A and B are shown apart, each in its own frame.
Chain A
Amino acid sequence: QQQVKQSPQSLIVQKGGISIINCAYENTAFDYFPWYQQFPGKGPALLIAIRPDVSEKKEGRFTISFNKSAKQFSLHIMDSQPGDSATYFCAASSVFQKLVFGTGTRLLVSP
């Protein structure tokens, strides 16, 4: 119930393409769904987050889509750039509880 399942494990996208990473959860008490971005040799950093009262949140080229009934959420990166090449983690938690992370997706955007 505490797991967050993330797919795919790795992804290669052409520059300018759309990158899509999916996550699914079981615990209906989760009410905070962030995505973290991690570059090699660095710690993860918050990219964008959503709460279940909205179905979509957009920040620049990054969009979270949230489907409460299906208990799924996804990250879309529009116009993917080589600088977006990183590992992306989805996560979930209930209010002020510990974050549970997905297993990560290694994204490579080819020039």
Chain B
Amino acid sequence: DAGVIQSPRHEVTEMGQEVTLRCKPISGHDYLFWYRQTMMRGLELLIYFNNNVPIDDSGMPEDRFSAKMPNASFSTLKIQPSEPRDSAVYFCASRWTGGTGELFFGEGSRLTVL
């Protein structure tokens, strides 16, 4: 089975540009999470969805960040405009209600904003 798939794996952009990160969760999983990982703050939950509906976006740092899940197999995290302090590794993870509670993570998208 394919795991959680994220793209791009690496993104280098200039301050002010729009960045879109993409995630395909594991088929059949009904929860999708977006995390940000930095050395200073560790793993921070940004937002999560259940059945494509955003449940908790309290971790989204500011209005420059937005996330969508138009269907069960695709989600995006958008940063517009990007700033150097957004540089981090962004992880997508999914899980299934009927499972053990285990989160399955993608390999992450490393974002560098110059």
Contact = CB atoms under 8 A, between A and B. Distances in A.
Partners in one complex: yes
Interface of A: 32, 34, 36, 41-46, 49, 89, 93, 96, 98-104
A101 B101 CA distance: 14
Interface in B27-74: 33, 42-43, 45, 48, 56
B107 A96 contact: no
Contact of A101 (B42, B56, B97, B106): B42
Given A43-B91, A43-B93, A99 B42 contact: no
A41 to B, nearest CB: 7
A101 B36 CA distance: 12
Contact of B101 (A32, A41, A42, A89): A32
A45 to B, nearest CB: 7
25 contacts: A32-B101, A34-B101, A34-B102, A36-B103, A41-B107, A41-B108, A42-B108, A43-B4, A43-B93, A43-B105, A44-B43, A44-B103, A45-B105, A46-B102, A49-B100, A49-B101, A49-B102, A93-B101, A98-B45, A98-B48, A98-B56, A99-B33, A99-B45, A101-B43, A101-B45
Contacts of B106: 43
Nearest to A31: B101
Interface of B: 4, 33, 42-43, 45, 48, 56, 91, 93, 97, 100-103, 105-108
B50 to A, nearest CB: 9
A42 B48 CA distance: 21
Contacts of A45: 105
Given A32-B101, A49-B102, A100-B45, 4 more contacts: A36-B103, A89-B43, A98-B48, A101-B42
A46 B99 CA distance: 13
A89 B103 CA distance: 13
Nearest to A43: B105
Contacts of A89: 42-43
